[in-house]
């Protein structure tokens, strides 16, 4: 296990068994922008039979010419599973171990890779890149509560006293910037958490930008142990999925709500279906400036009843000095 450096210098991982590095899928020499996305109907059902002519794409409001379009179910997949092990999630860890282990056994193929990070008061890399469900299960067995006890009850002046309880944004930032940025193919971050952040060095905007620069899709599994908060007389915890929704929606993912009616195993199954129903669009931007700016993307369908689930944009390549 390796602890992730957070406050001074972000940890520089040397992934064991990773694919060729420095081959990002969205910023390439020929300036082709690639977008992976899903389409859903009014009932949120996945639509998997659309064609190139069913779509138009816009960058900063200007229509772009689609260079290629296809279904992307066979591209290599890299999954980062980030599990909240703060005090509020302690009673859920055993459930998470079993569901995640089953998920990895079902979804990983020979060309795929996964890694596992736990985060509470600190973030730890429990398993580096592997396609071995056995190694991932061993990493999952290392999950244990990691919490700054003082962070359970914030002080009266939050601007002065900021305990580290759940460094959600730091974990996402480091997973995207250190683990995923050089990987090719489809890249996914799955966050199992009640959505609370306390004590992160990075802000939510930093986490989102890092995921977008890495071309990673974020999926939030909103999992709240209500009994924990009630038992500690706390009313402020686990009350909103807004942070998870913001990270997910801006990167092309979405949030799964986990409860008795929608157990974790079902959410993992839905995620598998979603990853098998992705489309890919590629285009050469009409704006050829290599200025490193963020470009807004919008993909539209000919059917007004369909909703496209895609990242909100990308960072343009920056010309070398």
Predicted model pTM: 0.85
Q: CA gyration radius for the chain?
A: 20
- The 8-class DSSP code of residue 317 comes to P
pLDDT for position 294:
95
CA distances from 28 to 24, 25, 187, 253 (A): 7, 7, 16, 23
CA distances from 268 to 30, 46, 99, 261 (A): 36, 15, 8, 14
pLDDT for position 159:
36
CATH 3.40.50.410 in the chain: give the residue spans. 75-275
pLDDT for position 277:
87
pLDDT for position 231:
55
Q: Rounded to an integer, what distance in angstroms lies between the CA atom of residue 195 and that of residue 266? A: 19
Report which of residues 11 and 240 the model is more confident about. 240
The set of residues, in sequence order, having a beta carbon less than 8 Å from that of 230 and lying 6+ positions away, is none
**Closest by alpha carbon to 78, among 3, 18, 12?**
18
**Closest by alpha carbon to 140, among 107, 172, 116, 175?**
116
Mean pLDDT of 90-105: 94
Q: 143-189: per-residue pLDDT in tens?
A: 999 876 444 434 333 333 445 579 999 999 999 999 998 888 899 99
One DSSP character per residue, 224-272 reads: --HHHHHHTT-SSTT---HHHHHHHHHHT--EEEESSSS-HHHHHHHHH
Q: Rounded to an integer, what distance in angstroms lies between the CA atom of residue 110 and that of residue 112? A: 6
**Closest by alpha carbon to 82, among 247, 212, 231?**
247
CATH 3.40.50.410 fits 75-275, yes or no: yes
The set of residues, in sequence order, having a beta carbon less than 8 Å from that of 299 and lying 6+ positions away, is 35, 37, 55, 56, 57, 58, 281, 308, 310
Q: 220-254: per-residue pLDDT in tens?
A: 999 998 777 665 555 555 578 999 999 999 999 99
Q: Rounded to an integer, what distance in angstroms lies between the CA atom of residue 316 and that of residue 74? A: 26
Mean pLDDT of 76-93: 93
Mean pLDDT of 265-273: 94
- Residue 38: pLDDT band (50, 70, 90) is very high
Mean pLDDT for the chain overall: 84
pLDDT for position 257:
95
Dihedral angle sign, alpha carbons of residues 192, 196, 202, 206? positive
Q: Give the 3-state secondary structure percentages of the chain, helix then strand then coil, rounded to 5.
A: 25, 30, 45
Give how far the C-alpha of residue 143 lies from the chain's centroid of Cα atoms, to the nearest Å.
19
Instruction: For residue 1, give both structure tokens.
Output: 């296990």
Check pLDDT > 80 for residue 286.
yes
């Amino acid at each position: 296990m390796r602890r992730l450096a957070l406050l001074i210098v972000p940890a520089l991982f040397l992934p064991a068994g990773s694919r060729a590095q420095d081959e990002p899928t969205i910023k390439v020499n020929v300036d082709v922008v690639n977008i992976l996305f899903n389409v859903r109907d009014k009932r949120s059902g996945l639509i998997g039979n659309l064609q190139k002519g069913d779509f138009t794409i816009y960058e900063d409001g200007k229509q772009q010419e689609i260079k290629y379009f296809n279904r992307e179910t066979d591209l290599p997949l890299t999954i980062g599973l980030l599990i909240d092990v703060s005090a509020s999630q302690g009673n859920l860890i055993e459930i998470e171990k079993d569901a995640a282990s089953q998920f990895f056994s079902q979804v990983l193929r020979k060309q795929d890779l996964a890694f596992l990070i736990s985060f509470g008061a600190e973030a730890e890399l429990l398993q580096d890149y592997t396609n071995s469900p056995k190694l991932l299960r061993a990493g999952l067995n290392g999950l244990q509560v990691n919490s700054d006890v003082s962070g359970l009850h914030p002080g009266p002046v939050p601007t002065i006293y900021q305990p580290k309880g759940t460094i959600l944004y730091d974990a996402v930032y480091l997973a995207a910037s250190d683990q995923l940025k050089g990987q090719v193919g489809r890249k996914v971050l799955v966050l199992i958490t009640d959505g609370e952040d306390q004590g992160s060095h990075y802000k939510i905007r930093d986490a989102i930008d890092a995921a977008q620069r890495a071309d990673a899709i974020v999926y939030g599994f909103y999992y709240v142990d209500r009994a924990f908060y009630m038992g500690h007389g706390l009313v402020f915890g686990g009350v909103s999925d807004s942070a998870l929704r913001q990270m997910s929606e801006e990167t092309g993912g979405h949030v799964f709500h986990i409860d008795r009616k929608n157990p974790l195993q079902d959410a993992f199954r839905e995620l598998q279906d979603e990853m098998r129903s992705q489309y890919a669009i590629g285009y050469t931007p009409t704006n050829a400036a290599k200025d490193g700016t963020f470009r807004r993307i919008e993909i539209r369908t000919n059917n007004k009843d369909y909703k496209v689930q895609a990242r909100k944009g990308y960072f343009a390549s920056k010309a070398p000095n």
